[in-house]
Amino acid sequence: MTFFSDARDHYSHRVRMVLAEKGVTVDIVDVDPSNKPEGLAEINPYNTLPTLLDRDLVLYEANVIMEYLDERFPHPPLLPVYPVQRALSRLWITRVENEWSKRLDILMVGKGRETVITRARQELRESIISVAPIFAEKPFFMNEEFTLLDCCVAPILWRLKEVDITLPEKSTRPLTRYMQMIFERESFRESLTEVELEMRE
């Protein structure tokens, strides 16, 4: 199994978290997105990262890769067992994509009109602050157990310092505790690249 990963990208990071959580033996190839190997375009029609190659199977969308890995390596399970909870987890992942990921993408690129970047930073910050109280309800994000939703959220939270977002301490204490717990988790530490480690130094 080979995983083509962008060392700076939060979508690649979420998949690396799943791989680490599952203890999967995989060859991780760090790819410079501005200088991709020719072989990547041959197996992935979109020539995008992340891309997973598992024998004859090629997957190239982060959430599809994560669910595939969860089914291919069922222990520990990273989606709830019951259909309702499963559906709610997927719905939250979609919400994270729409409200957090897209805005973080703008900030990580850091190019474009200043008004667009400023608005993205403000909207991402406000959205995270509004959700912060939820983290007081359960040990993990909307669940008693660690799930794929945590794998989507943690890489975004790790990058807040990188994109100049600070959170108000008083109103986000549950979220701060969650971040400390997740960032100390063994699988999270294993998933970090050198570039990502530098983001919070």
Query: pTM (2 decimals)?
Result: 0.96
- CATH architecture of the domain formed by 2-72: 3-Layer(aba) Sandwich (3.40)
Q: If you compute the radius of gyration of the chain from its CA atoms, what whole number of angstroms results? A: 17
86, amino acid identity: R
169, amino acid identity: E
Find the helix packing angle between 62-72 and 10-22, rounded to 10°.
0
Structure tokens at 165: 């977002």
The tens digit of pLDDT for each residue in 91-117 reads 999 999 999 999 999 999 987 789 999
**What's the pLDDT score for residue 111?**
79
Tell me how far apart the alpha carbons of residues 35 and 44 are, in angstroms, rounded to a whole number.
Answer: 15
β-pair type (27-30, 57-59): unpaired
Domain boundary assignment for the chain? 2-72, 83-198
The tens digit of pLDDT for each residue in 170-185 reads 889 999 999 999 999 9
Q: What is the mean pLDDT of the chain?
A: 95
Which DSSP state fits 141? T
Q: Tell me: pLDDT of 154 over 80.
A: yes
Give the right CATH number for 83-198 from 1.20.1050.10, 1.10.1040.10, 3.40.50.1010, 3.30.450.20.
1.20.1050.10
Cβ(179)–Cβ(186) below 8 Å: no
